[in-house]
Structure 1
């Protein structure tokens, strides 16, 4: 059990025996590959919505940022959810091509595909990759979504960084570059994990 585990000693079983409902906080990071291209002139501007099933209804938990013109997005937004060990928590991830100000509409041409699984499956495997499906069980081309889970430790320390850049190369033809910074951490297996993307 990790330091972040929380136990509620007030819950009781049907027999009147007091039991502890333990939860831990889990961070979910999302990336996609080979998303459908729904735009005519540009590539799709994807965002992923996380939904959780509660009493038979799908409720939106949160959504990622929108990444412009990208069919292989790695989202910097982190979903933080409570993980109940002995409860089946059904999750649904839906990818959309966003138009305007982060509007997600019911139009079929905005929907890039969805995937369902349980939080327990993601936590157990730590990293899960699944195909995205359109309505009626049809594959969304070769589109896939990858979700990585990490339990949050009890360490509440933080680091504040101030960064700036000077004399960057101008990569645009008719205007100046639109720079941003990505910060990655190196995992134990030497893979890199995006942890923050600036504006």
Structure 2
């Protein structure tokens, strides 16, 4: 049995110039973290809090993720305008998304990317900024 080094990293999320999809106020954004373990399937991992009436949110909730140095970990950050109390995202306005690897965030320390819509077109001037800090290094047994 071999041991594999795992670093827990904490990601701080903020956005700028989000699309405004509300008629009488500004969007109420929330960030959803998705993980792609293999192929085309994305799995929801976590959500931030919703910030009311903001096109430039700085989310308080952070994401803590296990970082495996030699594994490509694909992440997708989806931004949604939440105007109801359901947990379903299908009934909320989609403001844009960004796909990156955890390695890109870790090596950059601070990474700002444009948000894109589902059709691949830019989500206006919207962007997302991802900042990481290391939290804890631990060893886990790896069964071969």
User: Normalising to structure 2: TM-score of the pair?
Assistant: 0.89
Separation in 2, partners of 1:104, 1:130: 26
Higher relative contact order (CA 8 A, sep 6+): 2
Separation in 2, partners of 1:127, 1:102: 32
Separation in 2, partners of 1:22, 1:153: 11
Separation in 1, partners of 2:123, 2:80: 12
Q: Check the 8 A contact 1:32/1:72 in 2, yes or no.
A: yes
Q: Check the 8 A contact 1:104/1:110 in 2, yes or no.
A: no
Separation in 2, partners of 1:32, 1:119: 18
Deviation above 4 Å: which 4+ runs of structure 1? none
Q: CA RMSD in A?
A: 1.4
Where does 1:14-93 land on structure 2 (aligned, <5 Å)?
A: 20-56=3-39, 57-93=41-77
Separation in 2, partners of 1:87, 1:106: 31
Which of 73, 76, 79 matches 1:95? 79
Between Structure 1 and Structure 2, the one with more strand by share is: 2
**Aligned residue pairs: how many?**
136
User: Normalising to structure 1: TM-score of the pair?
Assistant: 0.65
Q: Check the 8 A contact 1:96/1:104 in 2, yes or no.
A: no
Where does 1:1-199 land on structure 2 (aligned, <5 Å)?
A: 10-11=1-2, 20-56=3-39, 57-101=41-85, 103-107=87-91, 110-153=93-136
Separation in 2, partners of 1:83, 1:67: 28
Q: In terms of Rg, which structure is larger?
A: 1
Separation in 2, partners of 1:42, 1:67: 12
Q: CA deviation at 1:55?
A: 2.6
Structure 2 unaligned residues grouped into runs of 5+: 138-144
Separation in 1, partners of 2:57, 2:85: 18
Structure 1 unaligned residues grouped into runs of 5+: 1-9, 12-19, 155-199
1:60-106: CA deviation from partner (whole Å, max 9, x where unpaired)? 11000000000000000010000001000000000000012253432
